[in-house]
Amino acid sequence: MVLPNYDTIVEPFTGMCGRGTITNDLNPSTPAMYHMNAVDFLKMFDECSVDCVLNDPPYSLEQIKRSYNNVGIESIGDDSKHFYSQLRDEISRILKPNGCAITFGYSSNGIGLTRGFIMDYIMLIAHGGNHYDTIMTVEYKNKKELPLKEQWW
C-alpha cells in the first residue's frame, strides 16, 4: 500500500511512537504535542482542513480504562458510550474531500459509508500468541471511485 505524501497527518492517539505531523495522547508521559481528550483535540481543527487522520484508539472501553486510569486520568467520563461515535464524527468533519482515514481496531467498520467514506483497504495484522489480531482500514472521504487495482484471484 502506497499513500500520498500528506502535509497534515493528525494523530489523536499517539502513544509512545507517533507518526503524525500533529500528535495527541491523553497520557502526559507520552511525547505527543498535545495531551487532551481525543474528541476535544479533533475539535481544534477547522472543517475540511486535514489531509489524513491516523486513528489508533484503545480498541474497547475496557482498554481505555486500562490505558489511562493507571496514570490517574479519568479518560472519557460519562460519555463513554458515545465516545467512538463522536470520534468518527470529528474525523469526518476535519478531513478534506478525498482525505484519508487510517483506522486500527477490532472491527473493519472504520469511519463508515454513512459519514461519506469509501473503503480502499482492509488488512488483518496478526500479533501471534494470545494477542488479538488488529484490523486496519484505509478509507477516503467523498471519493467517488477508487483507482483500479489488479485482481489477485
Residue 145: its pLDDT value, please?
64
**Among the listed residues 56, 64, 60, 63, the one whose alpha carbon sits nearest the alpha carbon of residue 136:** 56
Task: Assess if residue 102 is contained within a domain.
Answer: yes
Q: What CATH number has the domain bearing residue 93?
A: 3.40.50.150
Which of 67-71, 88-92, 131-135 bottoms out in mean pLDDT, i.e. has the lowest? 67-71
Task: Assess if residue 121 is contained within a domain.
Answer: yes
- pTM, whole model, 2 decimals? 0.85
Number of compact structural domains in the chain:
1
- Residue 140: strand, helix, or coil: strand
Residues facing 119 on adjacent strands:
139
Whether the per-residue pLDDT at 18 is higher than 70: the answer is: yes
Residue 153: its pLDDT value, please?
45
Task: Assess if residue 146 is contained within a domain.
Answer: no
Task: For residue 104, give its domain range.
Answer: 9-141
Task: Assess if residue 25 is contained within a domain.
Answer: yes
Task: Assess if residue 56 is contained within a domain.
Answer: yes
Written as one letter, the residue type at 65 is K
